[in-house]
Chains A and B, each alone.
Chain A
């Protein structure tokens, strides 16, 4: 079945590339020092490429939001509150235990249900919580005059920066887990093939 329309695949490959650039340049900015003049790549180059790729990322994010709003893909991102936790736990238990026992997939993929509950939860968290916070705080750092100066006695810039770094970190963790869980498809690399070709093999039964 074809689960990933062309625009999702296009969005995704751009997104993945930009996020990786952003992580590398972000780390480089945070840890460059006077002795190691270039932790990974050097400060000024890191700033430049971080800014450039962030601008593209924002545009790409808008593309994703619009795509989800216009096409049917958005429905996969609606979190049903009913059974939310128990469904996630069921899926988690499957990955941690049932899978090795040869149990059946508790939420087999079909066109009505592209993501299992755990996937859906993390994707919603990443795309609709972490991303907006990351972008807003990044905007604040790029245009510091837009940040509130004092927030309960603490400099607004510090809070903005901590928020930005934390969201960057959360998304980096997401990325690692995401890439790993993507190897849990029918075959190790079948999900990677699907996000590029769009075709998804049915889960093994």
Chain B
């Protein structure tokens, strides 16, 4: 029997040391044979884009070598594969590949000078456009310029590094399923921070082991599934839906009570787009969180609080009254055999 107690104890101690990250492999980076269209979206540039997809759409491509008079088959490296379905469900699905890339790419082999092609950045198209005012591109840009990643611009960091040019899709803005958005947003960071292949392109620093760096956070895997990296790493911003100012690591949120409290910071970050809805319902504080998770300390119920205080008070009162009667009756009994208070 004693052995069993030991096992239970060991099992419970191990729980404090959990280490599974919720990394979902970045989709679309795996080349498959020609795939089914799952989006149902028909692009005005479908045929034009097929020129590129026939090589860039999967892991195998072929071209004819006129000198040899042969059809050569070769492998497309995974970084240069663009998944059709993800492209056609992205924000920029209505684009032709050659809206952003030079028409020169229609040729193969691609002309060498295209390597030096200057890429657009987000503000080239979205800057100052009233149609996109609600996204506050300028404000995001200025936050980005203060963020810790900005110093890596000359190494090639840009908005595109987080917002995959071919797949980026609005998520948290019109998504009521928080855990889905959390996974999307976290994978966006983990694409570098849990994938050294991409990380090393931007820095000579050693690999950062995300799990170890966050060992101070208990239930790590469950936290990483229910809050985003930016909750702790981005500076709070009242106007932006998604704060973009990634702070130096020293300034990251570490206090549990920032989230596990009545006025949890999650209400103005992760739950911001929902928090216009009722903050309280059925007596629960921060009720919008309850559809997705239960956050200890942030989801107290005021009715239960009140009821428990009342019950507690009544019990103490009853005990106090009982004590008074006991003292009275023992004083009465004192005359006799001197029994102590009982």
* Contact partners of B44 in chain A: CB under 8 A: none
* Contact partners of B329 in chain A: CB under 8 A: 99-100, 102
**A15-32 contacts to B (CB < 8 Å):** 29-32
**A43 lies within 8 A of B294 (CB):** no
**B54-109 contacts to A (CB < 8 Å):** none
Given A157-B293, A165-B304, answer yes or no on A32-B257 (Cβ-Cβ < 8 Å). Answer: yes
Quote the shortest CB–CB distance from A45 to chain B (angstroms).
10
* Contact partners of B292 in chain A: CB under 8 A: 155
Q: List 20 A-B contacts (CB under 8 A).
A: A29-B297, A30-B297, A33-B261, A51-B12, A55-B9, A59-B8, A62-B5, A66-B1, A95-B322, A96-B322, A142-B15, A143-B15, A157-B294, A161-B294, A172-B312, A173-B315, A177-B315, A180-B319, A180-B322, A188-B341
Tell which of A43, A54, A186, A204 touches B256, judged by Cβ atoms closer than 8 Å.
Answer: A43
**A47 lies within 8 A of B218 (CB):** yes
A155–B290 alpha-carbon span in the complex (Å): 7
A62–B293 alpha-carbon span in the complex (Å): 31
A143–B221 alpha-carbon span in the complex (Å): 11
Identify the closest chain A residue to B330 (Cβ).
A100
**B261 lies within 8 A of A158 (CB):** no
**B280-338 contacts to A (CB < 8 Å):** 290-294, 296-297, 299-301, 304, 308, 311-312, 315-316, 319, 322, 325-326, 328-329, 333
**A204 lies within 8 A of B342 (CB):** yes
**A31 lies within 8 A of B15 (CB):** no
**B319 lies within 8 A of A176 (CB):** yes
Main secondary structure of the interface of A (DSSP, over half): helix
A-B contact count (CB 8 A): 116
Q: Is A144 at the interface (CB under 8 A from chain B)?
A: yes
Identify the closest chain A residue to B262 (Cβ).
A33
**B258 lies within 8 A of A34 (CB):** yes
* Contacts beyond the supplied A43-B260, A62-B4, A188-B341: 17 A-B pairs with Cβ under 8 Å: A30-B296, A30-B297, A32-B261, A34-B258, A34-B261, A42-B256, A43-B297, A51-B16, A55-B8, A58-B8, A63-B5, A102-B333, A155-B294, A158-B294, A161-B299, A180-B319, A184-B342
Identify the closest chain B residue to A168 (Cβ).
B308
**A34 lies within 8 A of B257 (CB):** yes
Q: Is B112 at the interface (CB under 8 A from chain A)?
A: no
* Contact partners of B312 in chain A: CB under 8 A: 172-173, 176
* Contact partners of A161 in chain B: CB under 8 A: 294, 296, 299
Given A158-B290, A173-B312, answer yes or no on A51-B296 (Cβ-Cβ < 8 Å). Answer: no
**B257 lies within 8 A of A173 (CB):** no
* Contact partners of B342 in chain A: CB under 8 A: 184-188, 204
**B256 lies within 8 A of A44 (CB):** yes
Identify the closest chain B residue to A54 (Cβ).
B12
* Contact partners of B218 in chain A: CB under 8 A: 44, 47-48, 51
* Contact partners of A66 in chain B: CB under 8 A: 1
* Contact partners of B325 in chain A: CB under 8 A: 100
Quote the shortest CB–CB distance from A83 to chain B (angstroms).
25
Q: Is A13 at the interface (CB under 8 A from chain B)?
A: no
Q: Is B118 at the interface (CB under 8 A from chain A)?
A: no
Q: Which of B257, B290, B329 is packed against the most chain A CB atoms within 10 Å?
A: B257
Quote the shortest CB–CB distance from B179 to chain A (angstroms).
11
